[in-house]
Structure 1
């Protein structure tokens, strides 16, 4: 797997266009708790200041059905500027290099800003699903998740 990632990330450890930049924070191997084969995490930076992060979770599992392949978080003082959508847009070349044609982003049903991010990205709302008791802790107590499909 290392050779595959070396080829995918060549020249992409820190990149970005426009007001935000992404810097590679880590590539992590299998995480059985969240059901990912690998996790790629980028810090989102605005003029060198970290304003949040975005992750790609590689694999398919019951856990990722509820967590999604892409996750993001913007620190509170920087919310409302579209940074999450801009970060995901910058990840698309990497997602293509990984061979994906689509990825899932999940949000809490009541997280309107995150749902707007998905809509801004052109994601399709696939369904709203009930989170089984088995995965409530993993999903930080969320009882439902909106599953959005990002077509690459």
Structure 2
């Protein structure tokens, strides 16, 4: 006995709704984790199944005041890498497209404190190998990057 078109459409609709809810929950959870870990406020709009729009991250401390992104798109691509004589690898690649990235920097405050000498941390080779293996499956493209630094005039402090 085959499935009727009505059952197929109902099942497809049900699976689509469940996947949409999982995506929404995961994006809200990621925003909450970023706000807790980084001490930043995160805001965004969902612009489709694989798209976030108007992403704004405002930091309370640090050199970066805010980061705003016009659009973040995700897609799954096949990378065609020739590995040898006639052998082509078809590894899947997650492509992240970031459009209209704007970074606003804070003005650094001059201080007369002495800088403490920092211990040099040696990162193990294993960490870099794990990062390189993960980067093999990731492609990031950034279009229209703007870096702003706010000017401070001396008269504003007087």
Q: TM-score range by the shorter chain?
A: 0.3 to 0.5
Largest Rg, 1 or 2: 2
TM norm structure 1: 0.34
TM norm structure 2: 0.33
